[in-house]
């Protein structure tokens, strides 16, 4: 199969969930660094990073250590998913049919869609607050709508435009956040900047979990942004450019949030703290963050729309979704999120933390199954034709091994959970530390590998089926 890619591509993306043929491949692997670095310099990771010292009462040093550990560990999983994109040429959620079956994948796709709709709504709340902080006369609800419309336009134009904006954003936002750090650290307004908070194991593990989840939460759509690269791009190159960009960009934002709230009086809203802590350059920082959240949030809208298209196409298998279909569904999602975000903006942080902690439980087993299947079971070789067949082709409608491992992967996490909805007995015994995601990974990965290899019928399909990308 030819791996030649076109030197340029139309600005408006024409593909949706279908296979991207070699003639339509374009871009450079270095684009993945700028996408994930620039995309992570944004208000939402800043707010999330501040929780380590705000909510979990860590001091600055232990907060930074927890943030780095979480991103460095979670980033490995995220980047391994990214490396699948050039090899497969299809979105991540469609690929899940090869692990779970054409119907078995519906639950995972639905969860991913809900997750990205939640992230989109959360981000437009921050866009509204940022715009209100820049222009007082603009109410937060109006700012929410403006932010949503900006993200909607970017998401509808699609893949190439998202990459272009983040190449620009990497330089602008990278310089901006360095200047912000410099100003805050030379204008600290609190006497307890280094001494506020302390080390506590439950808070440290919770902060590690938030950082790791930030990376894992990209897993259901990270390869969507590498799938247009030429298929002969080395797996290692895709991995490292994604890993370094995402881990570095998100770590900077998380630490920036922690530094800003420690440099200002206790109890301030994080973005208000950023504005106060950055003083004379505060308005500029808010403008940069406003532009960032609008650009970054297009990824969430794009991922949510691809997930919804995947759900519909599972049943309307003769339907060939086009760019117009993607635009229509984007508008519907955008309108619904605006309505929900305006109502949720008063208690944004509480709602967001609740959602993040619940996502840990359902995302981790899927990540483990997908990576084990791709790297250890199939070794990157799949039958693309079967993935798009209504009966799942050689992968079937259901893969009992994957569904069983997924259910067990969720169940084993329950005793170790610590969420506002439920605190497991083991978590309660160790002062509220949440180890559920670690347990989920350690149990699900070997369990799925054992179940998949134990199933002789499954192995027979692998050996006799057409496992080459035939398109």
The residues, ordered by sequence, that sit 6+ positions from 334 with a Cβ below 8 Å of its Cβ are: 148, 149, 151, 152, 301
The residues, ordered by sequence, that sit 6+ positions from 4 with a Cβ below 8 Å of its Cβ are: 22, 23, 25, 230
The residues, ordered by sequence, that sit 6+ positions from 22 with a Cβ below 8 Å of its Cβ are: 1, 2, 3, 4, 5, 230, 231
The whole-number average pLDDT for the span 273-300 is: 86
CB 249 within 8 A of CB 36: yes
| Six token digits for residue 435 | 């180890």
In the chain, the percentage of residues whose pLDDT exceeds 90 is 35
Beta bridge partners of 1: none
Number of alpha carbons in the 13 Å side-chain half-sphere of residue 470? 10
The whole-number average pLDDT for the span 462-470 is: 48
Q: Give this prediction's pTM.
A: 0.86
Please state the three-class secondary structure of 292-316 as a single string.
HHHHHHHHHHHHHHHHHHHHHHHHC
pLDDT beyond 60 at 186: yes
In the chain, the percentage of residues whose pLDDT exceeds 70 is 91
The whole-number average pLDDT for the span 184-209 is: 90
Helices 235-262 & 201-216 angle (0-180, nearest 10): 140
Give the model confidence (pLDDT) of 398-415 as tens digits.
Answer: 999 999 999 999 999 999
Predicted local confidence at residue 342, as pLDDT: 78
CATH number for the 22-346 domain, one of 1.10.4160.10, 1.25.40.10, 3.30.9.10, 1.20.120.1770? 1.10.4160.10
Return the closest-CA partner of residue 74 out of 198, 254, 226.
Answer: 254
C-beta neighbour count of 311 within 10 angstroms: 17
Query: What are the extents of the domains in the chain?
Result: 22-346
- Find the distance separating the first CA and the last CA of the chain, reported in whole Å: 9
pLDDT beyond 80 at 366: yes
Question: How far is residue 300 from each of residues 182, 305, 334, measured CA to CA in Å?
Answer: 31, 9, 11
DSSP 468: S
């Amino acid at each position: 199969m030819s791996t030649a890619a076109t030197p340029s591509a139309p600005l408006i993306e024409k593909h949706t969930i279908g296979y991207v043929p070699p003639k339509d491949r374009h871009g450079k692997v270095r684009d993945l660094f700028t996408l994930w670095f620039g995309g992570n310099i944004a208000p939402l990771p800043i707010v999330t990073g501040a929780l380590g010292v705000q909510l979990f009462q860590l001091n600055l040093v232990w907060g930074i250590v927890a943030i780095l550990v979480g991103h460095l560990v979670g980033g490995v999983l995220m980047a391994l998913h990214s490396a699948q994109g050039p090899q497969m040429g299809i979105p991540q959620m469609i690929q899940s049919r090869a692990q779970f079956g054409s119907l078995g994948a519906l639950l995972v796709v639905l969860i991913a869609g809900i997750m990205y709709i939640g992230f989109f709504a959360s981000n437009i709340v921050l866009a509204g607050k940022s715009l209100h902080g820049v222009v007082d006369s603009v109410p937060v609800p109006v700012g929410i709508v403006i932010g949503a419309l900006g993200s909607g336009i970017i998401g509808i134009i699609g893949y190439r435009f998202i990459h272009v904006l983040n190449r620009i954003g990497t330089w602008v936002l990278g310089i901006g956040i360095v200047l912000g750090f410099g100003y805050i650290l030379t204008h600290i307004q609190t006497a307890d900047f280094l001494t506020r908070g302390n080390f506590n194991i439950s808070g440290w593990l919770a902060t590690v979990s938030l950082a790791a989840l930030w990376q894992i939460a990209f897993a259901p759509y990270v390869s969507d942004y590498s799938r247009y690269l030429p298929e002969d791009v080395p797996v290692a190159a895709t991995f490292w450019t994604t890993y370094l960009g995402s881990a570095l960009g998100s770590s900077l934002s998380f630490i920036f949030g922690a530094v800003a709230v420690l440099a200002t009086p206790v109890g301030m809203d994080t973005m208000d703290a950023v504005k106060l802590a950055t003083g004379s350059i505060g308005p500029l920082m808010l403008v940069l963050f406003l532009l960032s959240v609008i650009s970054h949030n297009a990824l969430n809208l794009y991922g949510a729309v691809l997930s919804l298209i995947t759900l519909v196409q599972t049943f309307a298998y003769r339907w060939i979704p086009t760019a117009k279909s993607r635009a229509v569904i984007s508008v519907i999602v955008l309108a619904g999120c605006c309505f929900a975000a305006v109502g949720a903006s008063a208690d944004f942080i509480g709602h967001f933390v609740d959602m993040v902690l619940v996502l840990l439980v359902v995302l981790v087993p899927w990540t483990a199954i997908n990576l084990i299947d791709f790297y250890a079971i199939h070794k990157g070789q799949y039958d693309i034709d079967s993935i798009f067949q209504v009966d799942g082709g050689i992968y079937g409608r259901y893969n009992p091994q994957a569904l069983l491992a997924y259910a067990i992967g969720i169940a084993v996490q329950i005793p170790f959970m610590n969420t506002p909805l439920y605190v497991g007995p083991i978590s309660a015994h160790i002062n509220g530390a949440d180890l559920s995601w670690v347990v989920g990974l350690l149990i699900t990965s070997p369990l799925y590998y054992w179940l998949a290899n134990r199933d002789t019928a499954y192995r027979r399909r692998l050996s006799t089926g057409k496992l080459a990308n035939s398109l």
